[in-house]
Amino acid sequence: MFRDQIFVISLDGSLLADTAIHNTLLDIAVLRSLNINVVLVHGIGRQMQDLAEAKNLPLSDSHGEGRTDPQTLEVAIEASVQTSFAVMQGLTKVGLRCMLSNAIRSTEVGIVKGVDQELSGRIDRIDLMAFTQLLANDCVPVVSPVTFNRDGESLRINSDLLAAALAKGLKASKLIFLTTQPTLQLDGHEVTNLTVTEVESLLGKSPEVFPERLLSKLKESVRAIHGGVPRAHILDGRIFGALLNEIFDKVGIGTMVYKNDYQSIRRAEKEDAQSIFNITRNPVKSEALRGQTLESIEASIDSYLIFEIDGGVVACMRMIPYNEGSIFELGSIFVQPFYQQRGIGRSMVTFALEEAKRMGAERVIAMSTQAIPFFTEVCGFGVGQLSDLPEARQSDYLANGRNSKILIKAL
């Protein structure tokens, strides 16, 4: 699924100081063995704090989010050199080629809200060709949060910002933040999935619900997704196998921020027929859905909509036109069990209703034996009768003997 794609992985300085980092680097070696391209960005916040404490030096900011005075920059440079060396040493131990480069050019942030940010930087230019060539040569680029401006002077940049910008520029399929923070919780419950709209709303109205050290990662996740990156993940890298579990297990162990539901819905293509057949086999056995052969799905593939997560089909639905498009039937609606109770079915139906309305339909019908409350209570359908069906559908309804409840919604 992910072969030849690019993952940008950001390693917090706190994780690099933890003994779990070796397991994380082993996970990265596994990704490379599967021909997944990896770009590593590392933080230095924890390392700067340790150096400053050892030398009894005050820091203007250790996370790259505020003002960087000359003394803080000196500490940042020392921390960056030591941390980059440790990352490259670790990658070498797990058998990976890697390289540190000056492919990111920065410029001064300047004055923000009346405060001179001094030696804090922002991205001026990314040499994407340099990164592309490194990846093409089986090399893992390592990116430090201390960069150079056009005059060769050093500037401190936030590593989360760097990772998001690289993910956007390289058209990465994933932006992954590995931290030492526990899985994100809201209202006492672990949050495994959030749409980018939900994150934006919470950041705007109630940023206090998020841990302070995750705010930057959530903000940069939003920017990356708006820049074309499909998924951003935030996970606790101290958990054994965290990276591989988050990527390859359907449940995952972190928090994924993703595009709005509608952006995950698309028209099915011929290649999706097998996936649709696979996910509908069990509900057909339980008579929740009417049986369809693989051949019949392939023949009618143009009428299917699918919902994708990470390139995998997790839900499907058919839109069947009648009476020259004045009526549409919604059929074969099914969401894989693990993804149920997440609003995916409702999103698909809402999308289909808007599509039908856009195409000039007057009403939409559905027939169900086991999902009647979903249509009536969640999607606003009313109960109809046989005469509400198009004539072409009435005879089939009587012949199949399923005695489905007829549901109808005017547009």
**CA separation for the pair 9, 31 (Å, rounded):** 11
Q: What is the DSSP string of 363-393?
A: EEEEEESS-HHIIIIIS--EE--GGGS-HHH
pLDDT at 180: 95
Confidence label for 260 from pLDDT (cuts 50, 70 and 90)? low
Are 214 and 181 in contact by the 8 Å Cβ rule? The answer is yes
pLDDT at 106: 96
Average pLDDT in the 177-181 region?
A: 95
Residue 342 has pLDDT above 80, yes or no: no
Tokens 């933890």 locate to 18
Confidence label for 288 from pLDDT (cuts 50, 70 and 90)? low
Higher pLDDT, 162 or 340: 162
Q: Which residue segments constitute the domains of the chain, with CATH numbers given?
A: 6-259 (3.40.1160.10), 264-410 (3.40.630.30)
Which helix (H) or strand (E) segment holds residue 169: the answer is: helix 159-169
Structure tokens at 374: 């979903």
* pLDDT per residue as tens digits for the range 148-173: 999 999 999 999 999 999 999 999 99
Average pLDDT in the 118-140 region?
A: 96
Residue 258 has pLDDT above 90, yes or no: no
pLDDT at 125: 95
Confidence label for 39 from pLDDT (cuts 50, 70 and 90)? very high
**CA separation for the pair 219, 235 (Å, rounded):** 15
Q: What is the DSSP string of 240-280?
A: TTHHHHHHHSSS-SSEEEE--GGGGEEE--GGGHHHHHHHH
Burial of 198 (C-beta count, 10 Å sphere; 0-12/13-18/19+): middle
Residue 250 has pLDDT above 80, yes or no: no
pLDDT at 261: 61
Average pLDDT in the 339-354 region?
A: 86
Q: How many CB atoms lie within 10 A of CB 239?
A: 17
Average pLDDT in the 305-310 region?
A: 85
Residues in CB range of 315: below 8 A, 6 or more apart = 279, 306, 307, 333, 334, 335, 336, 339, 344, 345, 348
pLDDT at 340: 84
Confidence label for 375 from pLDDT (cuts 50, 70 and 90)? very high
Strands (E), 184-240: 185-186, 189-190, 193-195, 231-236
pLDDT at 312: 82
Half-sphere exposure of 276 (CA within 13 A, CB side): 31
The torsion region of residue 360 among left (phi > 0), alpha (psi -120 to 50) and beta comes to left
Residue 259 has pLDDT above 80, yes or no: no
CA 43 to chain centre: 21
Percent of the residues in the chain that have a pLDDT greater than 90, as a whole number? 66
pLDDT at 234: 96
Average pLDDT in the 254-270 region?
A: 81
Higher pLDDT, 134 or 311: 134
**CA separation for the pair 202, 180 (Å, rounded):** 22
The torsion region of residue 84 among left (phi > 0), alpha (psi -120 to 50) and beta comes to alpha
- Assessment of whether the complete model's pTM goes beyond 0.95: no
pLDDT at 264: 77
- The secondary structure of residue 323, as a DSSP letter, is G
Average pLDDT in the 389-409 region?
A: 89
Confidence label for 358 from pLDDT (cuts 50, 70 and 90)? confident
CA 282 to chain centre: 28
Distance of CA 399 to CAs 137, 293, 352, Å? 62, 19, 27
**CA separation for the pair 244, 255 (Å, rounded):** 14
Residue 251 has pLDDT above 70, yes or no: no
Tokens 């606003």 locate to 380
Tokens 């028209």 locate to 267
pLDDT at 7: 97
Residue 191 has pLDDT above 90, yes or no: no
Structure tokens at 324: 């020259």
Backbone angles phi, psi at 328, to 5 degrees: -120, 140
- 3-class DSSP assignment, residue 402: coil
- Least confident interval from 86-100, 184-198, 326-340: 184-198
Distance of CA 371 to CAs 232, 240, 352, 394, Å? 33, 40, 17, 20
Residue 193 has pLDDT above 80, yes or no: yes
pLDDT at 262: 58
Q: For all residues of the chain together, what is the average pLDDT?
A: 91
Residue 338 has pLDDT above 70, yes or no: yes
Average pLDDT in the 226-240 region?
A: 91
